[in-house]
Amino acid sequence: MNSGDSKISVRSGETRPLAQNTPIWRQIIDFPLSALVIGLVAIAAVIAGFAFLRTVIEPPESQLAAEAIATFTVVFAVFAVCKLVINRIGVTKRDDLPLATAVRDLTVGIVGAAILMSVIVGVAALFGVYRIDGWGTASDAGFILLVAGVFAGFVEEVIFRGVMFRFLEEFAGSWAALAVTSLLFGAVHYGNDNATVLSSFAIAIEAGVMLGGAYMLTRSLWLAVGIHFSWNVTQGLVWDVPVSGNQVDGIVDARAQGPELLSGGAFGLEASVIAMVLATAAGLFLVRMAVRRGHVMQPWWTRRRLEQEKLA
């Protein structure tokens, strides 16, 4: 952190005096809502720029190779934006993608989400709403791994947790950031195939809370990225469950049956009561751990008042 910047801990009430010599342009950039806009614009510019390049550059003949190049190019570009732009703006300047903890947090997220989704599938099978008919062809493996896994897992987490949650939290506090990003995360999935109001609500409370809780707990994006990646890959590639409404062909050939409230219907198990209960419980557990570690930030105006009281 630069010596001239405000230093504010995420621990409730822990503040240090604001620097008196910070230029006005820097204060404007670092104001949480300004930083939020800058972060979103920077990522949107990267994605739009790459989309334009794809229209003028001839892709490889292999569709899988083209998707792999596209996915990892965008991921690398967004990673660079995080390091060069997002980590350097806002009130609490920090690296949300520290390489030192990447392997550990990704592994925990991947394994944890795989177990959680497998438990959800197992419970659905016990209730008779999920059935395996045989082996599948896994013809959608490339799409699931690259698009639903790597791209969605990394880019969506940077947008929703690394930018929106981070700067909304700096402005309105942890609870407002968790509520708003969870609702928005559910809302954007309303445009998916086979989506309903219930499926969007389910995504909001199970995935939004779980991924937000992972970010609150670690103050890093890697755990959330690992969870997001593995959640999609496990349900789609391993268990042949639709990924947020997108029908896929996995390793096994499975089908949903029975009441949609239990099976999730065409949207997949994410829209089922089973997932809502189990995944939301996991998310609340992560949030509770974050609270116990003091990783709750008060609103900007409360922190400012506390700073003024300390200086008085």
Ranges of each domain in the chain: 96-311
Q: At what angle do helices 102-126 and 222-233 cross, to 10 degrees?
A: 40
What was the pLDDT predicted at 4? 37
Are 264 and 275 in contact by the 8 Å Cβ rule? The answer is yes
Instruction: In whole angstroms, give the CA distance from residue 228 to residue 246.
Output: 16
Nearest to 228 by CA among 124, 297, 158, 288: 158
Number of H helices, E strands in the chain: 14, 2
Question: Could you give phi then psi for residue 253, rounded to 5 degrees?
Answer: -105, 105
* Better-scored residue on pLDDT, 8 or 147: 147
Q: Is 133 helix (H, G, I), strand (E, B) or coil?
A: strand
Residue 312: CB atoms within 10 Å? 5
pLDDT digits (tens, 9 = 90+) for 246-291: 999 999 999 999 999 999 999 999 999 999 999 999 999 999 999 9
* Residue 183 binned pLDDT confidence (cut-offs 50, 70, 90): very high
Identity at 296, one-letter amino acid code: V
Q: Closest by alpha carbon to 219, among 270, 165, 278, 156?
A: 165
pLDDT digits (tens, 9 = 90+) for 122-181: 999 999 999 999 999 999 999 999 999 999 999 999 999 999 999 999 999 999 999 999
The pTM for the full model equals 0.92
Q: How far is CA 57 from the centre of its chain?
A: 30
31-60 b/e (C-beta count within 10 Å ≥ 16 → b): bbebbbebbeebbeebeeeeeeeeeeeeee
CA angle centred on 76, ends 100 and 90, rounded to 5°: 70
From 28-37, 59-68, 208-217, 267-276, the region with the lowest mean pLDDT: 59-68
Residue 296 has pLDDT above 90, yes or no: yes
Residue 15 has pLDDT above 80, yes or no: no
